[in-house]
Homo-oligomer: A and B are copies of this chain.
Amino acid sequence: MTWLDQIRWDAQGLVPVIAQEDSTGDVLMFAWMNREALARTAETGQAVYWSRSRHKLWHKGEESGHFQQVHAIRLDCDNDVVLLRITQLGHEPGIACHTGRHSCFFQKLENGQWTPTETVLQDPDQIYKK
């Protein structure tokens, strides 16, 4: 029984993953991994997710250059959620969101409305032209 076998993969063979910035504690993004994605993440030290929309492995940063260096891999009490402690590479401050923002969680509920709260650090057209 390996550490990968101990994870309770869901019916699709996936596990939810939270990526948290190691230096600030900011929650940057949420995604999914299958067994191969998590194995590669552990082996390479860079985050590899499973894209549910594209149905393939997704080495975060492969298009944007914004790779994620993984410092720690944690697992919750039910063995069914993973937490990564990462450094978001490629820009300072790090850009995890495809909108060019630091964090994907930039919408805040204020007076019954979702309000954007973070500035765009880099134009997505610039990021994905690389």
Give the Cβ gap from A39 to chain B, nearest Cβ, in Å: 11
Residue A9 CB within 8 A of the other chain: no
Cβ contacts under 8 Å, A83 to chain B = 27, 105
Q: Would A30 and B105 be within 8 Å (CB), given that A2-B112, A3-B112 are in contact? A: no
Copies of this chain, how many? Answer: 2
In-complex Cβ contact of A114 among B6, B24, B98, B106 (8 A)? B6
Do A73 and B108 touch (CB < 8 A)?
Answer: yes
Chain B residue at smallest Cβ distance from A24:
B25
Cβ contacts under 8 Å, A6 to chain B = 114
Do A97 and B77 touch (CB < 8 A)?
Answer: yes
Q: Chain A: residues with CB nearer than 8 A to chain B? A: 2-3, 6, 16, 18, 20, 24-27, 29-30, 42, 72-79, 81, 83, 97-99, 101, 104-109, 112-114
